[in-house]
Structures are given as C-alpha cells and as structure tokens.
Homo-oligomer: A and B are copies of this chain.
Amino acid sequence: MSYNLLKGKKGIIFGALDQNSIAWKTAERVYEEGGKFVLTNAPIALRMGQVDLLAKKTNSKLIPADATKLEDLENLINNTMDIFGGKIDFVLHSIGMSVNVRKGKHYTDLNHDWMAKGWDVSAVSFHKLMQCLYQKDAMNPWGSIVALSYIAAQRTFPNYNDMADNKAYLESIARSFGYFFGKDKKVRVNTISQSPTLTTKVPGIGCAVTHSPSPERTCNPPTLS
C-alpha cells in the first residue's frame, strides 16, 4: 500500500548494501510513498553490494561517500542539493561496523585500534554528517535526521560487543546535536532501535546475525553494513 506520504520530500539514505539492509527496505518504502533521495555508501561497500540495482529501481542517484571523511560528506551534500535544486528534508544514517566483531575478538580482549575504527565509522560519522548539514544549512525546517541504533545502547547485550558502546555514543550525539539542530534550525534528530529482526549474515562483513525472539534475552545485532 502507498499513501503518498512523502510526496515532495527529498533526502539522503546511507547504508543500503543489499536486500537485507534496513536502509534498502527503507529506500523502497520511501520511493513507494513518493519521496526522492540520493543513495550513498562507502566506495568499498558499493563494490561489494548491489546498490546500483536499488538506484535503478528507485530512480535515484548513487553518490559514493566515506562517512568518516568530511570532504566526502561535503561533496555528497553539495551534489544532493544540486540534484534537488535546494535544501533537503530527511537523512537516514544506517551505518555500523565493528572490526572486533568481524574478527571475532571477545569484549574482554579487544584490539583498541579496531575499537577506534568502529567508533569512527559507526558513531562519529553521525556527528560529522550533522556538522556538515548544519554548517551548510542544508536541511529544510521541520526536516528529520534519523540514525539506526539498537537497544544494546541502553542495556547489556554481551554479545553485541563494542557495537553496544558505539551505539551509546551515537545516541548521545543524537541528544547533543539534536538540541542545537532543533533550536537553531527546527530540524528533528532521532535514533530508532528496531524490534527483533530476522536478518542474515552479510557476505564479506562477517557478522552472523540470527533471529532472536526477544531482545531482552539474547544478542540480536542489526545488520552491520
């Protein structure tokens, strides 16, 4: 069903990799509801995934950007505003990655360089993205910026490893930057934690993700893209 809820709305969607990505499903629904968007992901993720198929299907442009690099984010935002001829209405940040998870390191035996890498990709990228959007004044009033979080940001899910800490940092950024974006630009900043979701192992990413009947009991990490 489609209700044309997003007619006339323009945005950017980060993190679609393949059909199992939450960002992929979100992009399909946004398209159905009449929204337009630019798709983006890291260059390496674009080579591994099938985002070009999604771009064709949704009649969208695909602009590579490493979300840890300010210059890539600036380029992405500039191009997006050129494409749409003005400011944008929504941004979805669906980015997460832990090298420690990928490499199977236990939380009591982490590699701290990998910890820093995952933190930069999964959490700091959200601050960099918002700082660019804010400084370029790229968002329309009452626009919406959403990042995907996980309940492990707030309660203990031992197997979610350092991604739990990254999501806690991400949610704190949402609170901190949300204050300024709301007050100064009338833009909403939120994070969403999905319900238990059946996802699949992402090839080449190495995070086995299985169905969890209850987020209270076992670890159910969202797809790391």
Q: Tell which of B124, B135, B158, B169 touches A176, judged by Cβ atoms closer than 8 Å.
A: B158
Residues of B within 8 A of A184 (CB): 108
Is A156 among interface residues, defined by CB-CB distance under 8 A? Answer: yes
The answer on a CB contact under 8 Å between B112 and A124 is: yes
Provide the A68-100 mask, 1 if CB < 8 A to any CB of B, else 0. Answer: 001000000000000000000000000000000
Is A142 among interface residues, defined by CB-CB distance under 8 A? Answer: no
Provide the A108-134 mask, 1 if CB < 8 A to any CB of B, else 0. Answer: 111010011001100110011001001
Given A115-B127, A116-B120, A134-B108, A164–B158 Cβ distance below 8 Å?
no
- Provide a sorted-by-A list of 29 A–B residue pairs whose CB atoms are within 8 angstroms: A3-B3, A70-B112, A107-B176, A107-B177, A107-B180, A108-B131, A108-B135, A109-B135, A110-B131, A112-B127, A112-B128, A115-B124, A116-B120, A116-B124, A119-B169, A123-B165, A127-B165, A153-B172, A156-B175, A156-B176, A156-B178, A156-B179, A161-B176, A164-B172, A164-B176, A165-B169, A165-B173, A165-B176, A216-B217
Is A4 among interface residues, defined by CB-CB distance under 8 A? Answer: yes
Provide the A52-68 mask, 1 if CB < 8 A to any CB of B, else 0. Answer: 00000000000000000
Chain A residues close to B by CB (< 8 Å): 3-5, 70, 107-110, 112, 115-116, 119-120, 123-124, 127-128, 131, 134-135, 153, 155-156, 158, 161-162, 164-165, 167-169, 171-173, 175-180, 184, 216-217
The answer on a CB contact under 8 Å between A164 and B175 is: yes
Residues of B within 8 A of A179 (CB): 156, 158
Residue of A135, A156, A172 contacting most chain B CB atoms (<10 Å): A172
Residues of B within 8 A of A216 (CB): 216-217
C-alpha spacing A111/B71, complex, angstroms: 14
C-alpha spacing A179/B219, complex, angstroms: 13
Across the interface, name the chain B residue whose C-beta is closest to A68.
Answer: B112
User: What 10 additional pairs, Cβ within 8 angstroms, besides A3-B3, A112-B127, A116-B124?
Assistant: A107-B177, A110-B131, A115-B127, A116-B120, A153-B172, A155-B175, A164-B175, A164-B176, A168-B168, A169-B169
